[in-house]
Each structure stands twice: as structure tokens, then as C-alpha cells.
Amino acid sequence: MWPVGWEALRQWGDDAVRMERLTGGVANDVWRVRVDGRPAVARLGTRSDADLAWEAELIRHLDRAGLTVPVPVPTVDGRLFVDGLVVMTYLDGGPPETQADWRRVAGTLRELHRLTRGWPQRSGWRSSTDLLHAGSGTKIDLGAMPPEGVARCRVAWARLAGRPTCVVHGNPANPGNVLVTADRVALIDWDEAHVDVPDLDLVLPGNAADLDDAAYDAAAQASAAWEAAVCWDDGYAVRRLAEVRPV
């Protein structure tokens, strides 16, 4: 008996099988799987088809451009996702450990940003600066937050207004979202990727992206506000909101 939702894995072949649960975001069920005799990673969530199609097209674009990313593995009949289930190539490596590793991550993020200038917004999403006027988008509902907290977040996001946008990974400072080997940096877990101001991706340990003081402060405040809004109202979101300075 297949668990609910995982029946779709049969679309990748009769021999497709779940092997081991992996750590992942709270919004998804992530497993190491075997498809056609090879290891892969499967992610089951509740994203819409339009949302998943945006992610798949982005990943394929980045792969063609030479970035190391987990590429969607198609079903037997060529689909890239089925009923919220996506299967991706397995990548090895470990988390960044040194400042030199994080500087390499910063370089990879800047290449992501260069390759996606002018990219369309993910279906149903808003950027941080869109939320200066909009009240919701995907996971964000500013109406659920304390008005004083919303005001603080909007002041932080306003500091990024008017800047060019591109695709941001969304959570690269989490070491679990980066796999480093001697010869490459892989960005994984693109579930939070969307179009926004690139500096949001560059708040890295030890200021590895070498932002100047003003740029780092603006990006760090906007990033804390974003994560507070996305995660509201769990303990992590409350802690992140506390980092956003009062108005």
C-alpha cells in the first residue's frame, strides 16, 4: 500500500521505490528514491501545476547555462511533475564549512542572478517590494501579522525599492540548501525561489558576498522581514521579526 500522494511515483516506472526520508522544509515530504535503477530525490508538496512548471523551467534553464542544480527527472511519458510530486537528480556533496566555501556560494548566487534578469515572477508570488502595497502572496498574509510588525517589515523592504530584480534562491544561507565539493557548488531546494531583489540572497555567513555596510544592513533587515512574513506565526518567525528594527 502506497502512502497517500505517493502513488504518483509509479509514473516514473514500475521499479520506482522510496528508500529513505530526507530532511526538508515543513511544507514538503522529501525522500531519497530509486528510479530506473539510479538514485534520485523526490519531493511531494501542495504547489500548483503553474508553480511547479515555473520551477522546472527555471531549473532546466540554469542547468543548460552550466549551474549545478537538481534537474527534474521526467516520468515515463515525459511529464516533469504529477499531482504535486517532483523527482530530481541526486547530487552529492556537503554543506559549506569555511569562509572560502561561502565565498564560492556567493559567486554561484551572483551567476544565478545574472542568468535570470527579467525572469517572470513565480505563479501567485509577490516580491518583497510588491508587499509595500500588496497584502498577500503565496505563503504570505500580512493581515495575519500585527500591524506594527507589518509596518516594520515594509520599512525594511522599502530600502530595496527601485532596484533591478531577478530570480533569488530564497534560502541559501541555510547550509542544508547548498552542496559543496572540491570542484563545484550546487544549489538545491528551490521551493522558495521567486523573483526579487538579488541582495536578499547575499546575506551570507561572515558577509561572504562582501556587501558594504549599508547594503548588508539593508539586505539583512529585508531578509529578516521576509522570513518573518513567510513563516508567520511560528517561533522562528517571531524571532526573525524581533531582528527588524522598530519604525
CATH number at residue 74: 3.30.200.20
For the domain that residue 163 is a member of, what is the CATH number? 3.90.1200.10
The pLDDT, as a whole number, for residue 203 is 97
Percent of the chain with pLDDT over 70: 98
Burial class (CB in 10 A: 0-12, 13-18, 19+), 106: buried
pLDDT digits (tens, 9 = 90+) for 149-186: 999 999 999 999 999 999 999 999 998 999 999 999 99
| Mean pLDDT computed over 80-101 | 96
The pLDDT, as a whole number, for residue 247 is 78
18: in domain: yes
119: in domain: yes
**Domain identity same for 85 and 115:** no
Tell me the pLDDT band of 25, cut-offs 50, 70 and 90: low
Tell me the pLDDT band of 26, cut-offs 50, 70 and 90: low
The answer to pTM > 0.85 is yes
216: in domain: yes
**Domain identity same for 232 and 150:** yes
Which of 89, 107, 140 is the last residue before a domain boundary? 89
**Domain identity same for 57 and 85:** yes
**Domain identity same for 178 and 126:** yes
94: in domain: no
223: in domain: yes
Which of 89, 113, 129 is the last residue before a domain boundary? 89
Provide the number of structural domains found in the chain.
2
Burial class (CB in 10 A: 0-12, 13-18, 19+), 100: exposed
**Which run of H or E residues covers position 178?**
strand 178-180
**Domain identity same for 61 and 104:** no
219: in domain: yes
**Domain identity same for 66 and 182:** no
**Domain identity same for 115 and 82:** no
Average pLDDT, the chain: 94
**Domain identity same for 169 and 103:** yes
Q: Is residue 27 predicted with pLDDT exceeding 80?
A: no
One-letter amino acid at 173 equals A
Q: Is residue 108 predicted with pLDDT exceeding 90?
A: yes
247: in domain: no
Buried b (16+ CB within 10 A) or exposed e, 235-247: eebeebbeebeee
Which of 55, 89, 123 is the last residue before a domain boundary? 89
Domain that includes residue 22, residue range? 6-89
**Domain identity same for 162 and 65:** no
| Mean pLDDT computed over 94-104 | 97
| Mean pLDDT computed over 12-21 | 94
Q: Is residue 237 predicted with pLDDT exceeding 80?
A: yes
Tell me the pLDDT band of 138, cut-offs 50, 70 and 90: confident
| Mean pLDDT computed over 5-18 | 94
**Domain identity same for 113 and 235:** yes
Residue owning grid cell 552529492: 92
Q: How far apart are CA 141 and CA 54, in angstroms?
A: 22
Q: Which residues contact 217 (CB under 8 A, 6 or more apart)?
A: none
**Domain identity same for 35 and 147:** no
List strands edge to edge, sheet with 85-89. 17-21, 29-35, 38-44, 85-89
One-letter amino acid at 134 equals A
103: in domain: yes
The pLDDT, as a whole number, for residue 24 is 58
**Domain identity same for 32 and 125:** no
